[in-house]
Structure 1
Amino acid sequence: MSMINLTTPALLFPATSLLLLAYTNRFLVLAQLIRNLQHQGQNDERGLVIRQILNLRKRIVLTRYMQALGVSSFIMCAISMFLIFVDRNRAAEVLFGLSLFLLVLSLLVSLWEIMISTRAIEITLEDMAHKLERAPIVVE
């Protein structure tokens, strides 16, 4: 007798769909940041822009991996449901387990990307502090 039924993997569908939507939004934000950085690079210090570019490149790679892992998890979950439907329960359980594993990997990569994105904010804050330190103090 199978430990899972058709509704077990189906429970993962809404969560995975929302997760993929969140990943897409993060990708769109990255694209916008890159476009803004292109304009900023023409006006600001070269060092800051180079540091931001390196940070954004890492984030793009991680976003690609988290999206690929999330989509793979979703596909494995769907195949698992199909296997339950055609009464291949053992294979369905294995694929569902693999789906959960891929989902966890996707979340871990997402956490890594979030940590890198906070570093980007730190870089901006460092630049702002540096500019304020160099700015002349105006006393009225």
Structure 2
Amino acid sequence: MEQLTLTTPALLFSAISLIMLAYTNRFLAYAAIVRGLRDKYIESKDESLIFQIKNIKQRLNLTRWMQIFGITSLLFCVLTMFLIYIELKLLAVWCFGFGLVLLIVSLAILIKEIQISTHALNVHLSDIEAYLKNK
């Protein structure tokens, strides 16, 4: 087994930080959409908004889990560095591996969320296409 040094988990800091920034931007965009959908629904009570509301609720939930797994992964990277510092190498290796698994889970959830987002956009595009065909 190759030696685990302080620089190995430290390399993930910038990657995880950028991922968390992207997740936060997604969350903020969804928050704005939710506020808009709420206002639209209160105004019109349009049943067609129900699909959008359910969809965005599911995407918000996935984004929350992406953030939780990403942050926990970062936490395990920091813990790994501490364990290396106090010379608990074997525990540090396991901790780092667990942090990597959490990051993988976070990215896998992102893939699922992207698929749901793409489906929602395709529904909107098909509505536009149907309108243009009838015009």
Decide whether the 8 Å contact of 1:52 with 1:123 is kept in 2.
no
Number of equivalenced pairs = 134
Tell me which residue corresponds to 1:52: 52
RMSD of equivalent CA atoms: 1.9
Please state if 1:114 is matched with 2:117: no
Tell me which residue corresponds to 1:80: 80
Distance in 2, Cα, partners of 1:108 & 1:118 = 16
Deviation at 1:20, TM superposition (A): 0.5
Please state if 1:40 is matched with 2:40: yes
Distance in 1, Cα, partners of 2:59 & 2:14 = 25
Tell me which residue corresponds to 1:21: 21
String of CA shifts for 1:25-71, please: whole Å, max 9, x gaps: 00001111112222333358422x11111111110110011000000
Tell me which residue corresponds to 1:65: 65
Q: Report the structure, 1 or 2, having the larger helix content.
A: 2
- Could you say what secondary structure the match of 2:122 adopts? helix
Tell me which residue corresponds to 2:101: 101
Distance in 2, Cα, partners of 1:96 & 1:18 = 19
Distance in 2, Cα, partners of 1:60 & 1:11 = 29
Deviation at 1:124, TM superposition (A): 1.5
Distance in 2, Cα, partners of 1:86 & 1:33 = 47
Decide whether aligned partners of structure 1 residues 126 and 39 sit closer, same or farther in structure 2, where only a CA change above 3 A counts: farther
Decide whether the 8 Å contact of 1:67 with 1:106 is kept in 2.
yes
Deviation at 1:123, TM superposition (A): 1.9
State the TM-score, normalized to the length of structure 2. Answer: 0.90
* Alignment gaps of 5+ in structure 1: none
Tell me which residue corresponds to 2:4: 4
Deviation at 1:127, TM superposition (A): 2.6
Percent of pairs with identical residues: 43
Distance in 2, Cα, partners of 1:2 & 1:121 = 46
